[in-house]
Structure 1
Amino acid sequence: MFKFLEEKFVPVAARIGSQRHLVAIRDGFIAIMPLTIVGSLAVLMNNLPIDFYKNTLNSIFGEGVWTQWGGNIWGATFFVLSLLLSFTISYNLAKSYGKDGLSAAVIGFSSYLTFGTIGESGFTGSTTGTAGIFIAIIISLLSTEVFCRLSGSSKLLIKMPAGVPPAVSKSFAALLPAMITIGLFALVRTIISAGFDIPDIIGSFYSAIQEPFMGLTNSWVAALILAFIPAFLWTLGVHGANIIEPFMQTINADAVAKNLQALEAGQAAPYIINKPFFDAFVNMGGSGTTIALIIAIFIFARKNKQYKTVGNLSAAPGLFNINEPLLFGLPIVLNPILFIPFILTPMVNVSIAYFVTKFGWVPAATIQVPWTTPPIINGLLATNSWQGAVLSGVLIVVAVLIYLPFVMMANRMAKVEVSKENAQE
């Protein structure tokens, strides 16, 4: 089976993982990740469920005045997320073509804004915020493709004299491609608005497609698929997290934003499935919940020299959710024993966490925490509750119980191999 998958499936998965448009989307989201974390933490600080904390700040700064700090950070992060993405995705795609990334980013940003809706005080929140993510991705990719092709034409190149500063030369070199690209997208927007009577394209797209799609991805079946794919790909030596990251980030940004808005309004978070949920309850120690594998090795494989050595080396990185030493050191990749619990464990954990959250026993994950945050602490911060920390701890115990029989089996096989080697000597 491994031979078949390695020959037929792995090359396809590798090509998908290195596809330039998916890589541009992934890197575009990664570039703004610090902002989403800062925005999430600001909302957390505004909504800590500690009466003494709130009363103290209200007495110092006035009722509700201190929350403006978090609101201002929200306005500089989540409220302009689509604008930022149109810039970062265009930049990364153009760089992959060897073109001027900054010019492409500015043009992608402007092209996206041609589809924006202007209200009384400027562009609406649906244009700038997470509701425009899908449109921002599509237009940034398309506009960059158009710009890169036009900028490769010598007929559209305005050459400046040798003494002109490089920044000015690049600006004039991008002038005609920029005019054509932005003009083309403005024309498409005009045709759609006038011909189909859709004044708010982004809002209409969100209501018709993005919001229903978010609802579909907020199910148990979707959670199982999202838990299975990266673990399965990792067992074949393919970086599963990188492949699924563009899709995960696309559904994640709007889900986190809507959860934070609900949190501020004192309502229940509508989206269970998001990246904070997976980081807190599934990817503990890395893909495959491998923090549990390290614990299982310390319990039952201390006499297995290879497992003990790799386990010791993997303990510190695993605490911060980095598991490459385990993946390639044991290895887990193409391992006929460990690939079963490596795939099974995240699917079991995601099922438990999903239904526990759905039944209201644990608050939904609403806070984007750095993915390197250690397990249990991550669950505490992501859900802003002690119940999240307890759930993380329980899931680690469940994962250890799943890994233990397979670690014991691998340990026995290692002893047999050692006995055979000794007999041959």
Structure 2
Amino acid sequence: MKGLLQWFEEYFVPFAAKVGSQKHLVAIRDGFIAIMPLIIAGSFAVLINVFPVDAWTKFLDTTVGGYIRSTNGNIWTGSFMIMSYLVAFTIPYSFAKNKGSNELATGLLGLATFIILMPGMEEGWGLPNAWAGTNSLFVSIFNGLFVAELFTRLFGNDKLVIKLPDGVPPAVAKSFAALLPSLITIVAVSVIKVIWVEAFEISNIMEFVMNTIQKPLIGMANTLPAAITVAFFNHFLWFFGLHGSNILEPLMQSLYLPALEANAAGTGQFIVTKPFFDAFVYMGGSGTTIALLAAIFVASKRRKDLRDIAKLGIAPGIFNINEPVIFGLPIVLSPVFFIPFIIAPVVLTIIAFTATAIGFVPLTTVMVPWTTPPVLGGYLATGGSFTGGALALFNLAVAFIIYLPFVLIAEKLDGVEV
């Protein structure tokens, strides 16, 4: 075991850390994080409009209730419905910011070129809303990264800088410095669209990418093996001190946000979404460590160090913040807690997937804040279903049972690092 851990530390950890800091993946992660407040607002607007209580539904049919429904519809329009427009700006913006380039110009170019790629833009005025949501998310991501990469490289070329006299205001000088790189970038995307339309006869790039790339990947990601793989690698990375959630965030957002939006709109039947993991697996944080804290409170009698960490970690753990436990207990590189830390999330993923597949709980349709306490998160993520809360509570009990024997083992190793 020691030799295996040493091998992973020597070879796997540096590779995983390199992947986690890869500039394109970081830009995708940061771009989605930037719009998360809007996505959460849109999710709760949908929840209010479809809350499954007859009295509330009847109230929404009244005059006052109609205003509430319309207001929530407007919130959805300004969040989920234009998600591709949002990330078309935020991803290249984040990319340029991380590189120390002109982030505002890069973000604006990402949005402008994404609009160029929109089908039907040649026919008249008005932005087409049909492809503004998650159905063109992959095009938005790919285009944003392409534009950011091209523009930031060109922007750093002194030969493309239009130099103005010293008396010119800095904002004007900065704008002119971006002129030629912006022109080259926007022309490049325009030519690419012409090639797609004229040479390949693909008039709707969004639809082509959605059918050939986005839909198949989302379908593959919504299988039980894929969900287990996500749960396993998230915690496997955490075991070595790497932030598994952050490293996997680009995957989670790119594949599971469209699934959530489809569920919320009633056009999809996707079991696995981002709130699926937050509500039923990552309770108390990665590893469902709030169940570990409960096991320590129940079974630990001699290990004052374990109880002290549990007391310190319970308050943030209620809001799914568990770094004090992961690094303080520690779970990182712990030969005792490694097994339950990996096994518990995988088992909970299987239980939650099965319970949803057989119809015991509804599909997740609401993006709840990741700091939402356990059980309440299961209730809200499933659109106000009590069975969602019950499933979360059951999973907590299962995780408690999984952790309990290992806490007892740690008790016998009093004075030994666990």
Confirm or deny a common fold (TM above 0.5). Answer: yes
2:287–2:341 CA contact under 8 A, matched in 1: yes
Q: Confirm whether residue 232 of structure 1 aligns to residue 231 of structure 2.
A: no
Q: Deviations for 1:263-287, whole angstroms, at most 9, x for unmatched residues?
A: xxxx7x5111111100000000111
Q: Confirm whether residue 380 of structure 1 aligns to residue 379 of structure 2.
A: yes
> 1:104: which partner in 2?
106
> 2:206: which partner in 1?
202
> 2:54: which partner in 1?
51
Q: Distance in 2 between matches of 1:54 and 1:137?
A: 37
Q: Distance in 1 between matches of 2:82 and 2:301?
A: 51
The residue identity in structure 2 corresponding to 1:199 is S
Q: Deviations for 1:225-281, whole angstroms, at most 9, x for unmatched residues?
A: 01001100111111111110111111122111101100xxxx7x5111111100000
> 1:10: which partner in 2?
13
The residue identity in structure 2 corresponding to 1:316 is A
2:218–2:256 CA contact under 8 A, matched in 1: no
Offset at residue 155 of structure 1 (A) = 1.9
Aligned partner of residue 414 in structure 1, secondary structure: coil
1:157 equivalent among 146, 154, 161: 161
1:276–1:365 CA contact under 8 A, matched in 2: yes
The residue identity in structure 2 corresponding to 1:367 is V
Q: Distance in 1 between matches of 2:155 and 2:211?
A: 36
Aligned partner of residue 287 in structure 2, secondary structure: coil
Offset at residue 121 of structure 1 (A) = 6.7
Q: Distance in 2 between matches of 1:22 and 1:126?
A: 27
Query: What's the RMSD between the two structures over aligned residues?
Result: 1.5
> 1:117: which partner in 2?
119
Give 5+ residue unaligned stretches, structure 2: none
Q: Distance in 2 between matches of 1:301 and 1:276?
A: 32
> 2:194: which partner in 1?
190
Q: Confirm whether residue 298 of structure 1 aligns to residue 300 of structure 2.
A: no
Q: Confirm whether residue 94 of structure 1 aligns to residue 96 of structure 2.
A: yes
1:90–1:105 CA contact under 8 A, matched in 2: yes
Q: TM-score, normalised by structure 1?
A: 0.94
What is the 5 A alignment of 1:16-55? 16-55=19-58
Q: Distance in 1 between matches of 2:404 and 2:172?
A: 64
> 2:394: which partner in 1?
394
Identity %: 46
The residue identity in structure 2 corresponding to 1:323 is N
Offset at residue 126 of structure 1 (A) = 4.5
Q: Confirm whether residue 222 of structure 1 aligns to residue 221 of structure 2.
A: no
> 1:411: which partner in 2?
411
Offset at residue 182 of structure 1 (A) = 0.4
Q: TM-score, normalised by structure 2?
A: 0.95
Q: Choose 292-301 or 51-60, whichever is displaced more.
A: 51-60
Q: Distance in 1 between matches of 2:305 and 2:236?
A: 24
Q: Distance in 2 between matches of 1:49 and 1:377?
A: 16
Q: Distance in 2 between matches of 1:324 and 1:159?
A: 49
1:58–1:65 CA contact under 8 A, matched in 2: no
> 1:422: which partner in 2?
none
Give 5+ residue unaligned stretches, structure 1: 419-425
Q: Distance in 1 between matches of 2:125 and 2:233?
A: 44
What is the 5 A alignment of 1:169-318? 169-262=173-266, 269-318=268-317
1:126–1:202 CA contact under 8 A, matched in 2: no
Q: Choose 23-32 or 295-304, whichever is displaced more.
A: 295-304
Q: Distance in 2 between matches of 1:394 and 1:54?
A: 30
Aligned residues: 411
> 2:84: which partner in 1?
82
Q: Distance in 2 between matches of 1:67 and 1:96?
A: 40
Q: Distance in 1 between matches of 2:329 and 2:391?
A: 28
Q: Distance in 1 between matches of 2:235 and 2:334?
A: 13
Q: Distance in 2 between matches of 1:251 and 1:87?
A: 19
> 1:68: which partner in 2?
70
Q: Distance in 1 between matches of 2:382 and 2:302?
A: 39
Offset at residue 69 of structure 1 (A) = 1.4
The residue identity in structure 2 corresponding to 1:399 is A
Q: Distance in 2 between matches of 1:15 and 1:302?
A: 41
Q: Distance in 2 between matches of 1:80 and 1:97?
A: 27
Q: Distance in 2 between matches of 1:348 and 1:338?
A: 16
The residue identity in structure 2 corresponding to 1:36 is I
Q: Deviations for 1:300-343, whole angstroms, at most 9, x for unmatched residues?
A: 01431110000000000110101111111111000011000000
> 2:329: which partner in 1?
330
1:16–1:243 CA contact under 8 A, matched in 2: yes
The residue identity in structure 1 corresponding to 2:410 is A
> 2:151: which partner in 1?
147
